[in-house]
Amino acid sequence: MTMTMGEAAKPARLRPWLAGLRLQDKARDCALLVVPPLITIGLLLLLWQMLCSQPGASLPPPSKVIKDTWQLISDPFFDNGGTDVGLFWQILASLKRVCIGFSLAAVCGVALGVLIGQSSFAYRGLDPIFQVLRTVPPLAWLPISLAAFKDSNPSAIFVIFITAIWPVILNTAVGVRQIPEDYRNVARVLRLNGWEYFFKIMLPASVPYMFTGLRIGVGLSWLAIVAAEMLVGGVGIGFFIWDGWNSSLLSEIILALIYVGIIGFLLDRIIGFFGRLIAGRPI
């Protein structure tokens, strides 16, 4: 009898201890994930600090970057009119352009990709054109689009569009072409009509490929917007960097570069997240 009670009591006593252990495990997993990057970042900053602290160094060390740009870091929301606005507004302006250009590229790219993936006639007709056009560097499109749109903002958006669309088209086409014959046969036996086939078979079967294209596309758009804005001016992180160069504010440029990198990384992760969400599986 006492033994039974002892047995029963044991798990109850053990439970909080086990929970503590599990929490410890979680903390360790978390530390394993966070500590190595912290160490490498710390070492890099230290190296940078050492290299740029010598007299006559041409670039500012991190301590000076933070000191110089503290106002920009601490208040990203100020607005003194014109292009003299906080970094939040600069980045938002760039993101807006990317958002419009990239959305257009996504819609047109998926549509064209499905077309050349489905029809070998369209593939033969369009693929050579796409292969040539996609090698044109983004900025080479800028003069043409400035001439066509006669305005800087639509031109910048067009550059984003034309940069992001190629990987979307080509990856979607690959995705559509690789749909196994078996799925097509299932669709034929079930007599799915065009729309049903598109939504129930083609889209889910090629979503991982589409999102590969979209991820590459969003990365390229972010690369292109910074370059395009340097040339067209106005509010935007690209022009902010160019402006910093013209005013010899190297610390501001370095800060902007860090922000550009972080935003690019986040854009990539966001598209990846939506891909997983829509595909319902890792992509």
Which one of the spans 128-136, 166-174, 181-189, 247-255 is the region binding another protein (CB under 8 A)? 181-189
Min dist CB 120 to another protein, Å, is 18
CB 187 within 8 A of CB 157: no
Alpha carbons 236 and 175: distance in angstroms, whole number:
35
Out of 205, 231, 250, 263, which residue is the one contacting another protein (CB under 8 A)? 205
Q: Which of residues 9, 186, 262, 270 is near another protein by CB under 8 A?
A: 186
Under the criterion CB under 8 A, does residue 200 sit at the interface with another protein? yes
- Shortest distance, CB of residue 281 to another protein, whole angstroms? 7
Backbone angles phi and psi of 61, in degrees to 5: -75, 165
Q: Which of 45, 185, 258, 262 binds another protein (CB under 8 A)?
A: 185
For the chain, how many residues are written? 283
201 binds another protein (CB under 8 A): yes
Q: Report yes or no: 250 and 244 within 8 Å, Cβ to Cβ.
A: yes
> What x/- string results for residues 137 through 176 when contact with another protein is judged by CB under 8 A?
----------------------------------------
Please enumerate in sequence order all residues whose Cβ is within 8 A of that of 104, keeping only pairs 6 or more positions apart, or say none: 157, 161
Tell me the HSE value of 70 on the side-chain side, using a 13 A CA sphere.
Answer: 5
CA dihedral of residues 180, 186, 189, 192 (deg, nearest 10)? -100
Separation between Cα atoms, residue 183 and residue 231, nearest integer Å: 49
84 counts as binding another protein under rule CB under 8 A: no
- Binding span for another protein by CB under 8 A among 122-130, 190-198, 235-243, 253-261: 190-198
For another protein, which is the closer residue by CB, 99 or 205?
205
**How buried is residue 277: exposed, middle or buried, by Cβ count under 10 Å (0-12/13-18/19+)?**
exposed
For another protein, the binding residues (CB under 8 A) are 180, 182-183, 185-186, 188-192, 196, 200-201, 204-205, 279-281
